Structures are given as C-alpha cells and as structure tokens.
Amino acid sequence: MNNSEGLHWSFDYNYGAQNPHFAQQLVETFLGFYADPRAGRIGAEAVGHVYDIFPNYWRGYATGAHLQDNLSLGEAVIKRQQADDARWHYTIQYTNTTSGEDLQLRFHTADDPHRSLTGKWYIQAQNDCQDSYSALACEGQRVADEIRLIVNHAEITVGTVQKDTPFTCNWALFDVIPALSGAIQGSGEVVEMALLEDLEKLRPVNRIGFLESIRLHETQLDGYYLYGEGLLPSYWWLDTHGNVAIFANFFQTFVLREIVGGRA
Amino acid sequence: MNKRPNILFINTDQQSWNAVSAYGNPYIRTPNIDRLHRNGTSFMRSYCSDPVCAATRSSWATGLYTSETGVPFNGGHMHEEIQDIGQTLNTSGYKAFHCGKWHVPGRNVRESFHTLYYGKRDIGAGGGEYYDSASTHAVIDFLTTYDGNAPFYLQIGYVNPHDVCEYLHNHEEKRVPNPLEQGIITEDELPPLPENFHYDESETVLQQVCRRTDDALIHSAILNGVRNWDEFQWRYLIWNYYRFIEKVDTEIGIVLNVLEQTPFCDDTVIVFSADHGEACGNHQMFQKFTLYEESIRVPFIVSCLGDGVPVQKNRFDREHFISGVDLVPTVYDYAGIDAPEAVRVERGEIPRLGGMSVRPLAEGDEIPWREYAYVESNYWGRAVVADRYKYVTEYKPTDPEDFRPPGPDASRLGRAQLFDLQEDPWETRNLAGQSGYEDVLDSCRADLLAQEARLNRWQIEHPNPRNVISNWGARLRVGWDGLSVS
C-alpha cells in the first residue's frame, strides 16, 4: 500500500490528468458492496458475481468526444451452478463499451480445485460497432490433447495441452484461485496450469502464487498473482469469504459490485 | 498464378524487428509470426518511413514519405488530394477491406475501405487489450463468409504491442515493487539489459528537446518516471513488452488457422509488418519517435501458407533495404494494377519518388534495388541507413515556420550522428565529429539531399499540424539558442 488514496499499486489509477477520479469511483463501488450485509455470503456458494470494469491506465475511454463522468468500461457477470452430474456449468456475460464486444461464454468444468474444462464450450460474440461485423458463434472442445474450435464450419486447432496438465478457462479462475488460496498461501508454492483465455486463446504456461495481504478501507484482502506466457501480469484480491473482490492488470480493474443468489 | 491473388496485410503496432522468436530471440515466443517466416521471406533490413503511428501509416496508405502525405508526425492531416490504397483497389477490381487500427488523421477509413471493424469507440492509438480480440472475430467472420466474387485486399491493424505505452503511463507517478525480490519472477526469465543501454549522448537537438530534457516535448511524465529506474525496471519493461507481442501473436495465429481452412488459403499472399519499433530501454529510451534502430527497424515478411503464390519460403533476406513506402507498390504489383503516378515505379527501376515492389525479391529475383533506407521523424528529423554507415541528422527550425516539411537544404542541417553499423550495430559511438569520417559524412549527406530532392513536399495547410509545428519549432529554437549562448 504505497500510493494515492490508500489504493494498492496494482489497482492505483493515479494518472494525474484524469477526470473523473478513479479512486473515488473504485472505492465507492467497493464500499458499496462491502457495506451490504449480504457481502458476508460465502463466495463458493454464490451463483453469480457481478463486476464493474474500470480502467487501470487505459486512457482511450476518455478522449475527445468520449470524455464522460462515469469511468465504467462495462461489466462482467460470472454465473456458475453445479449440475446433477457434479460438473459446474458456467455462463459468463462480458460487456465492453469500448470495443463494443458483448461476449457470452458457456462452459463446463469438473468439480475439482482446478475446475478442469470438460465437454464442449460455446462462444457467442456480438458487436454493435457501425461496421460490417456484428456477431460470431464458435464452439470448442478438447480432442485428446488438441484444443479445437469450430466457427462457421471451419475447424481449427489452437494448440495442445497434455492430459495431466491442469487446464481451465480464465474466467473459472474466479473460483480456482479461492479454492487453491489456502494451499498456495500455506506452502508458499506456485500452482501451474494452462488457460484457455475467453475459450479461444490457449495460454499453455501460467503460474499462480501468493503476493501479499492488505487492508482496503477496513476490509482484509489477500492478493495472488497470475503470470504467464502471452498474458499481462494480473493480481487477484480475495476477501475473507473467498470472493474475488478486485481483479486487476495494469490495463483494467474489475471491482465486485454484486453477488447474485447463494446463501446469506 | 493465373488469377489475381487475395492480399492480406497483417500489421502490429510498435514491434521491433528483433522481437520475433524465429529470428533468434530466446525471451519471446511468437510461433505464429514464426510460421509466416517459415512460409515466406523475412526482410531483415526493413525500415518504417517514420517511427510514429500516424505518420508511418500515412505511408502505408499512400506509398509516399511522410513529408509528402501531410502527416509528418503523430497528428498531422493527410492531404485530401492524395489517393489512398483503399480507394485505388476498390476501383481496380478488388474489394478493399479494413479491420482494426487505422490512425491516419484526415482520412476517413470508412470512406476508403469496406470496414469490418473499427471499434465501437473508434480505435485511436492504443487499446489492444480490448480491440484486438474483436478484430480477430471480425476477420474470422469475414474469412468464413466471404463470397469470393472479387479478390480481396484485407488489412488487419492490430494494436498490440502498443499497449506497452499504457504500461509506461502506469509508471509515471509510482514505483511498482520489484517482482524479482518478491519471488514472482526469476532472474533467468528476464531479458538482459540492452547492449546500448549506455550510449553516446552527443545526440541531435531535436532528440534532446523531444526526448531527453526535463520538460521534454514528448511524454515528459514517463521520462520523469523512468529516470529513477534501476536495471531491473528496464529489464522488466522488456519482459512485459514481449508478453504484449505474444498476445498479438496469438491473435495472428487464429487468423492464420482460419485462413488455412478456407478456399482462399492457396491464393492469398500475406504481408506482415509493424508501423515502428519500441526503444524498450535501448539508449535508455522508451517508446518510439527516435531514429535509432530499435525504433525504426521493423519486421517485414512476405508469405503464403499455400502454394498458389510464388514466394521463397523459410528464407532471410539480409541484403535489401525495405521501406514502409514499399507496401503500396508491392500490393499494386500483386494486384496487377497501375499505381497512381506519384508512386509508380517500373519493375527493376530504382525509385525516383516513393517505394518499390518487394514482390520480385520475395520470389527470389535479383533486380536493381535502392542502396539505403531513408527515414523521417518528428518533421525535422532525418536518417539514412546504408550498407555500413548510418547517418542521423535534423533540420533547424525557421522563424517563422513556412509549414513546408524541410529539405533538401544543407545550410539548415543541424547536428549529426554517424554510426558504423558493421563495427557498432548497437549505435553506441557517434563518429560524426571524429577525424577520418569526413568523407563518409559528406557521402551520407549527399545521399540524404539527393533523396529529398525527389520528394514532393507540399505545404501543410491544416491548422492542427500547423499549431504543433509552431509550438515545437519555438521550443527547438530555444534549444538552439541555448547552444549558441553556451
């Protein structure tokens, strides 16, 4: 904790010329959630987490005619439910007001700490830009070691992952990191795993480790880092209930705004 | 090749020529750019026309140098009279498509091209984290649905690794803890400090005023932030820079994989390049703008995944000087169309004005070729890169400015840098003032002036670039006045 407004360096957007003020909006969102008694809900039992997306040194949102009072770049809604066969069924709704991309991602994982990707997965992208591209649907699956995608009848292989390598979607990390946090923090070791970013881009070599613990406006947060090939370093801040309260890379910051469902 | 090929121009933003794993860089993995190399020819002496986004992209759009286009720095305004590559191709039997970053001020991309995707908020300088993935989606959608009734020209402008600029803004006012000391990263993962980290400080006044002084004209806040960096911080910048390139390499891989599954694969020639490089700690500098190799030298690959377009595969061309102005004549050559007069060069003719088609070189033909690359920067900066020597100089500002990009005028030339690239490839010893190099310097200066005599440098009329030129010129004159006083 060495920067302005008591924010951690990993999500301290202090670019001097920016208006409106990032810290104020981040803290308002953060405190708005943790002031709610339902924030005591156990993260793993929640059905959905809703995040506001703020910039973190990304300045393009507020240039020229796009200058606005609200810093939000969109939102991400992460929903998961356990099916009768014990697998987890995820639905991700990601809306980005800068790119115009509205992603719906659907996938299943095993009920293991790594939330290993199983079966088929689906990407539905929509975009409301004023150009000819408007939508794309894609389906994927793992065939032996190969990660395959099918889009408009074209089938491609995006890479291979060895069967014994832990492998999941980056969006499942909102559950994986809480699940592994105790082991990581206790042992001081790192966890290595392969990731399928947004269900389409294979990041075969990644590691997750413990960073440090902080208090943000009286809330205890434990920080974990994710480093990998082809990934921006990112930092994941967990509250004491196992919710990812803040996720940040230097480009953007996700701040937990709401929990949907689950036991209070 | 019986019919006119499809042409795919994939470009990245801010990628130095050596940031490719196929070229021997062990600190980065770019399997998909490597694949383009295996299926084509890599030109290892490729130089942008101007080491900033808008300027060099105006050359890509027109085949002209940036003192000719009206965009001689980041933020000019393209001369309305100049026809661009989209307009030409769309009236020549091709369908010209654009996707991603454009950044040519004064020219509406949606009027010149069929645009697949240009952002919900129009793509400006940065934002690869958001825009690049959507660009790939748009290209997949196009490649898997295009009817093929006309050959296509598709240019994909990826933004990354330009997001390294956001990384640098991140460090303007704060210090990020050392991940090495935190145990997050290991020593052997970090690239070493560049060999030219310590450099010869006898640079041009333009370079000093724009990039070195406390109140530098360009990104002084970043400069003030990095001044206190230790060796690790510079090396960590390079480490991060390579991650951005790996990100965009993955996007390129998806496009190539999809292209391979379409009927267009065999008949599509792919040109890959970058608009400029990234200093990344070389010469203790960041970003672009400067005329050192890391900033102006870029990858340039001509490739074909199939066998329908003759291209020498898995080959390095370390001989020929390629320029950013060569893109347009290369595309027109493959398209089999007449170039506008301003950029027309007959096959085998040494260019009098603009670029040359790289196609014969990609096919392995020996043809007459230019003997040096010519690069402009920041309106007043100039460089000539020849086989052994590299000459960097500047024009002094005038008072008042006449808004006609300077040159050729030996009387206005300012300071010079001369590097022996054979003995000193990292540009650490400025030989310009040393005895024994007078003839070399004279020869380089003659090449510069001869090249500039061929250019069609129009006066800049638009008020926005005029304001920049006036303001920067005033600051430069202060810099020169300071020298004369001291």
ipTM: 0.94
> How much is the mean pLDDT over chain B?
94
- Cα separations (Å) of A229 from A176, B241, B356? 19, 12, 38
What radius of gyration do chain B's Cα atoms show? 22
Query: Quick check: B261 pLDDT over 90?
Result: yes
pLDDT value for B443: 97
Cβ(A254)–Cβ(A247) under 8 Å?
Answer: yes
Query: Quick check: A264 pLDDT over 50?
Result: no
pLDDT value for A18: 54
Cβ(B126)–Cβ(B162) under 8 Å?
Answer: yes
pLDDT value for A67: 53
pLDDT value for B271: 99
Query: Quick check: B344 pLDDT over 60?
Result: no
Instruction: Give me the mean pLDDT over the B461-480 stretch.
Output: 96
Instruction: Give me the mean pLDDT over the B281-293 stretch.
Output: 97
Where residue A3 falls among pLDDT bands split at 50, 70, 90? very low
Q: Does A192 touch chain B (CB under 8 A)?
A: no
**CA gap B264, B369 in Å, rounded:** 31
Query: Quick check: B198 pLDDT over 80?
Result: yes
Residue from the list A9, A135, A252 with its beta carbon closest to the beta carbon of B177: A9
**Residue A125 with chain B: CB contacts under 8 Å:** 134, 137
pLDDT digits (tens, 9 = 90+) for A41-81: 655 566 999 999 988 876 665 555 555 567 888 999 999 99
Task: Give the total residue count for chain B.
Answer: 486
- Cα separations (Å) of B243 from A198, A225, B39, B137, B283? 17, 15, 24, 21, 21
Residue type, B285: M
**Residue B53 with chain A: CB contacts under 8 Å:** none
Which helix (H) or strand (E) is B373 found in, with range? strand B372-377
Rounded to 10 deg, the angle between the B231-260 and B128-143 helix axes is 10
Q: Tell the burial category of A109 from Cβ atoms under 10 Å away from its Cβ (0-12, 13-18, 19+).
A: buried
A56 vs B345, residue with greater confidence: A56
**Degrees (nearest 5) of the Cα angle B196, B200, B206?**
110
pLDDT digits (tens, 9 = 90+) for B381-392: 999 999 999 999
Write down the residue that tokens 């145990």 correspond to. B183
Put simply, the answer to whether A9 touches B176 (Cβ < 8 Å) is: yes
Where residue A1 falls among pLDDT bands split at 50, 70, 90? very low
In B181-279, beta strands by DSSP E: 268-274
pLDDT digits (tens, 9 = 90+) for B381-434: 999 999 999 999 999 999 999 999 999 999 999 999 999 999 999 999 999 999
Q: Does A185 touch chain B (CB under 8 A)?
A: no
pLDDT digits (tens, 9 = 90+) for B43-95: 999 999 999 999 999 999 999 999 999 999 998 999 999 999 999 999 999 99
Q: Per the structure block, which two tokens stand in for A60?
A: 């393009």
Where residue B260 falls among pLDDT bands split at 50, 70, 90? very high
Where residue B177 falls among pLDDT bands split at 50, 70, 90? confident
Put simply, the answer to whether A59 touches B166 (Cβ < 8 Å) is: yes
Buried b (16+ CB within 10 A) or exposed e, A226-263: bbbbbbbbbbbbbbebbbbbbbbbbbbbbbbbbbeeee
B2 vs B44, residue with greater confidence: B44
Q: Does B129 touch chain A (CB under 8 A)?
A: yes
pLDDT value for A2: 37
Over pLDDT 90: what percentage of chain A? Answer: 71
Cβ(B384)–Cβ(B390) under 8 Å?
Answer: yes
**Residue B133 with chain A: CB contacts under 8 Å:** 99, 101, 198, 201
DSSP structural state of residue B267: T
Q: Does B182 touch chain A (CB under 8 A)?
A: yes
**CA gap A71, A68 in Å, rounded:** 7
Question: Which residues make beta-bridge pairs with A237?
Answer: A223, A246
* Lowest-pLDDT choice from B170-179, B224-233, B356-365, B382-391: B170-179
Buried b (16+ CB within 10 A) or exposed e, B203-227: bbbbbbbbbeeeebbbbbbbbebbe
Put simply, the answer to whether B110 touches A131 (Cβ < 8 Å) is: yes
- Assign B451 to helix, strand or coil: helix
Instruction: Give me the mean pLDDT over the B249-274 stretch.
Output: 98
Other Cβ atoms less than 10 A from the Cβ of B113: the count is: 26
A105 vs A250, residue with greater confidence: A105
**Degrees (nearest 5) of the Cα angle A74, A79, A84?**
165
In B169-267, beta strands by DSSP E: none
Q: Per the structure block, which two tokens stand in for B107?
A: 């020219």
Instruction: Give me the mean pLDDT over the B126-140 stretch.
Output: 96
Q: Does A229 touch chain B (CB under 8 A)?
A: yes
pLDDT digits (tens, 9 = 90+) for B4-46: 999 999 999 999 999 999 999 999 999 999 999 999 999 999 9
A7 vs A226, residue with greater confidence: A226
